[in-house]
């Protein structure tokens, strides 16, 4: 990320696409973290997203700590997202449940967690 400069390029792309608006920057950041979390575990997702997304969020005025908590929150939520859904598939294997219904149940529960930061911000 640092050798190629990809992290800062993606950060600049997020801010440019959002036009400097806070809500759109946060929305695009959440999408980027979600897509990144489909391929890697939570810890790696947070570390990579901290390099790529945190500069974009701080550029539009989000405090550093809040940006990193946002990144961590969405990195954890991305772990249960289809199609990979590493955590639900592991839980299904441990408990003997069917993997796809377990994944869909976690996806339904996940939907409320995705909307929560937007609802809190709106109040």
For residue 68, the model assigns a pLDDT of 93
For residue 116, the model assigns a pLDDT of 63
Domain that holds residue 73: 1-78
Q: Count structural domains, the chain.
A: 2
CB 13 within 8 A of CB 6: no
Is this model's pTM higher than 0.85 or not? Answer: no
Q: What is the CA radius of gyration of the chain?
A: 15
List average pLDDT for each run of 10 residues in the chain, which is 123 residues long. Answer: 74 87 88 83 87 90 91 85 78 89 82 62 44
Tell me, yes or no, whether 72 and 87 share the same domain: no
Tell me, yes or no, whether 67 and 25 share the same domain: yes
> Using CA atoms, how far apart are residues 24 and 66, in angstroms rounded to an integer?
16
For residue 117, the model assigns a pLDDT of 59
Tell me, yes or no, whether 28 and 68 share the same domain: yes
For residue 122, the model assigns a pLDDT of 41
For residue 111, the model assigns a pLDDT of 74
For residue 92, what are the CA distances in angstroms to 37, 66, 95, 96?
19, 33, 5, 6
């Amino acid at each position: 990320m640092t050798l190629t400069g990809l992290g800062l390029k993606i950060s600049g792309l997020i801010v440019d696409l959002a036009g400097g608006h806070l809500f759109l920057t946060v929305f695009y950041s959440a999408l980027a973290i979600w897509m990144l979390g489909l391929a890697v575990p939570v810890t790696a997702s947070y570390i990579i997203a901290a390099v790529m997304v945190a500069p974009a969020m701080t550029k539009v005025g989000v405090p550093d700590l809040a940006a990193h908590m946002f990144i961590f929150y969405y990195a954890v939520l991305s772990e249960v997202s289809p199609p990979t859904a590493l955590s639900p598939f592991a839980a299904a294997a441990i408990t003997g449940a069917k993997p796809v219904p377990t994944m869909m149940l976690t996806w339904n529960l996940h939907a409320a967690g995705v909307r929560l930061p937007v609802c809190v911000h709106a109040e």
